[in-house]
């Protein structure tokens, strides 16, 4: 009994480790931009007079999180002039990303969505810039976390990272709502200046990340290999990336009009606006990705970029993962990664609008859903970290999956009850506690899959895959709610979690958490 108590005390002491504490502040810097796209921006646009179907597609502005694997090799390999020599490989990129995040938030603050027809487009572009910059910061922070400590510390570092992340959410979510209210804006009386000053202050809050980046130490990675032989290689690789991105954006932009026609025709055929829109946009995205890939292949074929660079930076991390786990287990793990967060992410896109439609004020949403919810998430994260160390990551991964799907059913009850503060506390408590437990285990699980020779690239692929399907579906959450109602929507999100549980059971029989490959 005494030995068991000593074990728990030693595990609790891990939370005071310097590297573990550092992740609290870096987590804050990573979490702050997220809700400025997903949550607060939605309420801002609703107050400005836009419908749910206009607001929820802004979730796609954060698809940079889902495609960050595309530029992760650049972040992993490319040195930044002057900054890399001054701060080191990881900290230089971290600082640059944080500065770009602050600039994107300031740009959003300078746009009044009601001013003219093009304002909403400008806001979307600023939101995309914020999503891209924030995703870049995530790439570097994840690489820094994994390279800074062994696998034994990863669950604890994940717990403090989640705590910091949620505090960032609190500032961007509850904090921005409190500020917007205090500055004088509401659904009845829209005040652009209130939201402007709110977002200005959010940009200032990014100084937490900037200061942390300056004072921490650069991690040592003896397995790091630079695959670029000259500055010319760097420039050509950047141009390859820029060309591919231009092809992707150009294809997506120029197919806009024909996509609108296809949606109308398909809706007439299948009598389902959501299904037709999802199908057409999926085809449109696939064509855009195909265009980017063909342009990249062309530049490699004409020897503009050496094939060995592309192979070492993009193909080797993927090959290494499949060779380490084998094709069968690797695909099971990738499916698990891609679907694990689907229930809570799809629901999370519409959550603020749901609370608002249930009659809760911004202050009530900020107090319960954001502030109190943060406490529950942090508690869940610490519990998840301790349980993962004690009982193993896979078991807690399964527990988190069960809780995440089950708690979505509580939202069905709240939808039927309506404006009831007691039930709001119950739903938020259960939802955020389970999310914290699941997230701590999941981050530790992803970290265990990474080979430190390809840290940023492999983890970026995993975390991108984690959010891709949920965010694509989440962009249609407003249209789904308009079609089937809140109760059926929440039931749908709970059902989405069932395949996840089956994948965890299958993976648990064939997979054992071990230290990262070297």
What does the domain layout of the chain look like in residue ranges?
A: 15-510
Q: Using CA atoms, how far apart are residues 80 and 90, in angstroms rounded to an integer?
A: 10
Look up residue 106 and give its two tokens: 């300031």
Q: Using CA atoms, how far apart are residues 357 and 323, in angstroms rounded to an integer?
A: 50
| Beta strand ranges found along 316-430 (DSSP E) | none
Q: What is the pLDDT of residues 155-213, one digit of tens each?
A: 777 778 888 887 888 888 778 888 888 888 877 788 888 999 999 999 999 999 999 99
Between the ranges 205-209, 305-309, 402-406, where is the mean pLDDT highest? Answer: 205-209
Predicted structure pTM score:
0.71
Q: Using CA atoms, how far apart are residues 295 and 297, in angstroms rounded to an integer?
A: 5
Angle at alpha carbon of residue 134, lines to 480 and 147, rounded to 5°: 120
Helices (H) and strands (E) in the chain, counts: 26, 0
Mean pLDDT of the region 413-440: 86
Q: Using CA atoms, how far apart are residues 31 and 494, in angstroms rounded to an integer?
A: 25
Q: What is the pLDDT of residues 471-516, one digit of tens each?
A: 777 767 777 787 788 888 888 888 888 888 898 888 888 766 554 4
Q: Using CA atoms, how far apart are residues 217 and 219, in angstroms rounded to an integer?
A: 6
Q: Which homologous superfamily does the CATH classification assign to the domain defined by 15-510?
A: MFS general substrate transporter like domains (1.20.1250.20)
Q: Which residue has the tokens 């770009």?
A: 100
Give the pLDDT of residue 235.
75
Angle at alpha carbon of residue 230, lines to 225 and 234, rounded to 5°: 80
Q: Are 53 and 479 in contact (CB under 8 A)?
A: yes
Q: Are 278 and 476 in contact (CB under 8 A)?
A: yes
Look up residue 364 and give its two tokens: 């009530």
Q: Using CA atoms, how far apart are residues 361 and 374, in angstroms rounded to an integer?
A: 18
């Amino acid at each position: 009994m005494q030995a068991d108590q000593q074990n728990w005390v030693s595990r609790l002491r891990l939370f005071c480790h310097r590297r573990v504490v550092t992740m609290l502040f870096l987590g804050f810097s990573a979490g702050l931009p997220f809700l400025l796209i997903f949550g607060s921006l939605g309420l801002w646009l609703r107050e400005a007079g836009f419908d749910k179907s206009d607001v929820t597609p802004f979730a796609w502005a954060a698809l940079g999180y889902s495609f960050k694997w595309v530029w992760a090799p650049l972040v992993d390999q490319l040195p930044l002039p002057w900054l890399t020599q001054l701060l080191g490989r990881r900290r230089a990129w971290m600082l640059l990303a944080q500065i770009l995040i602050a600039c994107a938030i300031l740009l959003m603050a300078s746009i009044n969505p009601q001013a003219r027809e093009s304002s909403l487009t400008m806001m979307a572009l600023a939101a995309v810039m914020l999503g891209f910059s924030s995703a870049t910061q995530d790439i570097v922070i994840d690489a820094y976390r994994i390279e800074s400590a062994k696998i034994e510390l990863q669950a604890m570092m994940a717990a403090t990272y989640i705590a910091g992340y949620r505090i960032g959410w609190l500032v961007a979510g509850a904090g921005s709502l409190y500020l917007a209210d205090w500055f004088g804006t509401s659904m009845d009386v829209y005040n652009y200046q209130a939201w402007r000053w709110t977002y200005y202050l959010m940009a200032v809050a990014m100084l937490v990340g900037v200061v942390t980046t300056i004072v921490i130490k650069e991690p040592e990675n003896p397995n790091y290999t630079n695959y670029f032989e000259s500055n010319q290689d760097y420039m050509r690789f950047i141009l390859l990336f820029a060309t591919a991105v231009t092809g992707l954006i150009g294809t997506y932009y120029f197919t806009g009009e024909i996509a609108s026609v296809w949606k109308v025709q398909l809706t007439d055929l299948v009598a389902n606006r959501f299904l037709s829109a999802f199908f057409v946009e999926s085809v449109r995205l696939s064509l855009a990705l195909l265009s980017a890939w063909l342009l990249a292949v062309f530049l490699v074929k004409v020897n503009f970029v050496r094939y060995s660079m592309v192979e070492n930076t993009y193909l080797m991390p993927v090959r290494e993962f499949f060779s380490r786990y084998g094709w069968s287990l690797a695909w099971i793990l990738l499916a698990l990664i891609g679907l694990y967060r689907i229930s809570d992410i799809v629901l999370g896109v519409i959550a603020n609008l749901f609370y608002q439609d249930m009659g809760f004020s911004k202050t009530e949403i900020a107090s319960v859903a954001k502030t109190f919810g943060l406490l529950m998430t942090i508690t869940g994260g610490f519990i998840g970290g301790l349980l993962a160390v004690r009982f193993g990551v896979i078991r807690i991964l399964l527990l988190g999956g069960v809780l995440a799907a089950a708690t979505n059913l509580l939202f069905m009850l709240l939808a039927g009850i309506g404006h009831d503060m007691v039930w709001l506390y119950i739903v938020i408590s259960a939802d955020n506690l389970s999310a914290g437990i699941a997230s701590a285990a999941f981050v530790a699980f992803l970290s265990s899959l990474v080979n430190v020779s390809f840290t940023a690239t492999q983890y970026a692929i995993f975390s991108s895959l984690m959010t891709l399907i949920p965010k694509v579906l989440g962009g249609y959450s407003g249209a789904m709610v308009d079609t089937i109602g809140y109760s059926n929507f929440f039931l749908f999100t709970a059902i989405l979690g069932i395949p996840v549980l089956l994948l965890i059971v299958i993976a648990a029989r064939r997979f054992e958490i071990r230290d990262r490959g070297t």
